[in-house]
Amino acid sequence: MRYKTDLEAMVLAALGDGPAHGYGIVRTIRARSEGVLKMGEGQLYPILHRLEEEGLVGGDWEMQDGKPPRKVYTLTEAGHGALESRQREWGAFANAVARVFSKKHEAEAAYDHGAPSLEVRHA
Amino acid sequence: MRYKTDLEAMVLAALGDGPAHGYGIVRTIRARSEGVLKMGEGQLYPILHRLEEEGLVGGDWEMQDGKPPRKVYTLTEAGHGALESRQREWGAFANAVARVFSKKHEAEAAYDHGAPSLEVRHA
DNA sequence: ACATTATATATCATAACGCGATATATGTCA
DNA sequence: TGACATATATCGCGTTATGATATATAATGT
């Protein structure tokens, strides 16, 4: 079934607007989701390293004075493509879940009707 | 972060329209999601047993001739309540993910890197 | 006659992964 | 002094998804 807990996709999405470093990505996801999604650093860094290894993101160290150095990650071309396909997959998945939750199932086994439009809306 | 892999909620949803047995639940989920969600029996039965133990569903054995006996599960009152709250949780979660994917982020927390960005603050 | 598929429940091993704790290092503020 | 924010990183624990396997009968296919 794979109700996939796709933290990778969230990280890619957070990098969609431009480069960012790990600590910032965590806050971005928290901010955009208005506190609903809380990714811990323990999950983020392994994901970031895997994405880098897979060539979906590139990382560059950046020195700062008065603060620890940080590694700024940027989506590669492959990364942008991955983001798009992940987003499409999420859409299909979310619609599927919405259909299972839906209380109207007239045409469940009857015939093949057009694609039901149960969109996931965001504020 | 809890990108919750809520197969339980799918099972509750499948029972929302009325009693069903395990094998039927699998097919219901598959049908309603138009093949996107494919739950295996290996996941279903443990979930069903747990739900029964928690009092969210009740199970009654039903004999059939020519076919194996089957256990028909029915949502309890508590089960109906759980279904509703799970659905609400899913909605909040799905909207949060959609927001993270979304490309419009007016009032995002500034996570300074490179060029300073204009923070649009609206009352 | 034999094999596959459908109905139907159930368990198990493995791998993957979320989660929280922990470590390291520096600067600021009370 | 102690707490908090910035910043990266690893580790163990427990949960869980996945696929394989087992059992049993009937219908269908070759």
For the CA of A43 and the C1' of C17, the distance in angstroms is: 9
The band of B5, judged by pLDDT with boundaries at 50, 70 and 90, is low
Task: Note the pLDDT of residue B14.
Answer: 94
Residue-wise pLDDT for A36-87, tens only, equals: 888 989 999 999 999 999 999 999 999 888 788 899 999 999 999 999 999 9
Which positions on chain C have an atom < 7 Å from some protein CB? 7-13, 17-23, 25-28
A-chain residues within 8 Å CB-CB of B44?
none
For residue B113, how many C-alpha atoms fall within 13 Å in the half-sphere facing its CB? 22
Give the pLDDT mean for B73-90. 93
| Tens of pLDDT, residues A100-115 | 999 877 545 433 333 3
Instruction: Please answer whether residues A61 and A71 qualify as being in contact, where contact means their C-beta atoms are separated by less than 8 angstroms.
Output: yes
Domain B7-100 has CATH 1.10.10.10: yes
pLDDT in tens, A76-102: 999 999 999 999 988 988 999 999 999
Mean pLDDT of B68-86: 93
DSSP string, A91-113: HHHHHHHHHHH-S--TTSSS--P
Indicate the domain borders of chain B.
7-100
Q: Which nucleotide is nearest to B20 (CA to C1')?
A: C8
B31 closest CA partner among A119, A106, A120, A94: A106
Which of A6, A24, A33 is nearest residue B96 as measured by Cβ atoms? A33
Q: In this predicted structure, what is the pLDDT of residue A116?
A: 35
Strand D contact at CB of residue A63, distance < 7 A = no
Distance from CA of B120 to the nearest CA of A (A): 15
Nucleotide nearest to B111 (CA to C1'): D6
Size of interface A-B (CB pairs under 8 A): 139
Span B54-83, average pLDDT: 91
Q: What is the pLDDT of residue A21?
A: 94
What gap in Å lies between CA A113 and CA A121, rounded to an integer? Answer: 23
Q: What is the CATH number of domain A7-99?
A: 1.10.10.10
Please answer yes or no on whether A28 and B109 come within 8 Å at the CB atom. yes
Mean pLDDT calculated for residue range B107-120: 39
Q: How far is the CA of A114 from the C1' of D17 (A)?
A: 31
Q: What is the pLDDT of residue A12?
A: 95
- Integer angstrom CA distances of residue B22 from A52, A66, A96, B65, B68: 42, 60, 20, 18, 12
CA distances B107 to A20, A74, B76, B89, B120, Å, are 17, 22, 44, 24, 6
Q: Which residues of A are less than 8 Å from B7 in CB distance?
A: 1, 3
pLDDT of residue B7: 87
pLDDT at B46 over 50: yes
| Among B77, B27, B72, CA closest to B54 | B77
Q: How far apart are CA A34 and CA A39, in angstroms?
A: 12
pLDDT at B23: 92
Which of A3, A95, A108 lies at the smallest CB-CB distance from B31?
A108
Q: Is B37 close to A122, i.e. CB distance below 8 A?
A: no
Q: Is the pLDDT of residue B83 over 80?
A: yes
Amino acid at the residue B79: G
Cβ–Cβ < 8 Å for A14, A87: no
pLDDT of residue B108: 53
